Amino acid sequence: MTIGMETSPIKVLIVDDSALVRQVLSHILNEQPDIEVVGACMDPIFAREKIKQLQPDVITLDVEMPRMDGLTFLDNLMRLHPMPVVMISSLTERGAEATLKALDLGAVDYVSKPKSNIGQGLLNDYAEEVVSKVRIAAKSRVFRHRRPVTAMVAPNPPVPASVNRLKTTQSIIAIGASTGGTEAIRVVLEQMPADGPGVVITQHIPEAFAGPFAQRINQLTRMNVALATDGQQILPGHCYVAPGDQHLSVERSGARYLCRLSRADPVNRHRPSVEVLFDSVARHVGRNAIAVMLTGMGKDGAQGMLRIRQAGGKTLVQDEQSSVVWGMPGACVSIGAADIQVPLTRIAARLINLLRQPAQPPHATATLLGETP
pLDDT (tens, 9 = 90+) of the chain, 373 residues, equals: 444 446 899 999 999 999 999 999 999 999 999 999 999 999 899 999 999 999 999 999 998 887 788 899 999 999 999 999 999 988 777 788 899 999 999 999 999 888 766 666 668 889 999 999 999 999 999 876 554 433 333 434 455 555 554 444 589 999 999 999 999 999 999 999 999 999 999 999 999 999 999 999 999 999 999 999 999 999 999 999 999 899 999 999 998 999 999 999 999 999 999 999 999 999 999 999 999 999 999 999 999 999 999 999 999 999 999 999 999 999 999 999 999 999 999 999 999 999 887 655 554 433 444 343 4
What amino acid positions are annotated as catalytic residues? 178, 204, 300
Q: Exposed, middle or buried, 40 (CB in 10 Å: 0-12/13-18/19+)?
A: buried
Q: E strands within the chain?
A: 2-3, 6-7, 10-15, 35-41, 58-62, 85-89, 109-112, 172-177, 198-203, 224-227, 238-241, 247-253, 256-262, 289-293, 314-318, 340-342
- For residues 197 and 354, the answer to whether their CB atoms sit within 8 Å is no
For residue 245, the SS3 value is coil
- Enter the DSSP assignment of 255: T
Q: What is the rounded CA–CA span in Å between residue 255 and residue 167?
A: 12
For residue 11, the SS3 value is strand
Q: What is the rounded CA–CA span in Å between residue 18 and residue 54?
A: 21
- For residues 355 and 197, the answer to whether their CB atoms sit within 8 Å is yes
DSSP secondary structure, 265-312, as one string: PPBTTBSS-HHHHHHHHHHHTGGGEEEEE-SBSS-TTHHHHHHHHHTT
Straight-line distance from the first to the last Cα atom of the chain, in angstroms, rounded to the nearest whole number: 33
Amino acid at 295: T
Q: What is the rounded CA–CA span in Å between residue 273 and residue 245?
A: 9
Question: What is the model's pTM?
Answer: 0.88
Sign of CA dihedral 126, 110, 290, 303: negative
Q: Exposed, middle or buried, 167 (CB in 10 Å: 0-12/13-18/19+)?
A: exposed
Q: What is the rounded CA–CA span in Å between residue 278 and residue 332?
A: 12
For residue 342, the SS3 value is strand
For residue 181, the SS3 value is helix
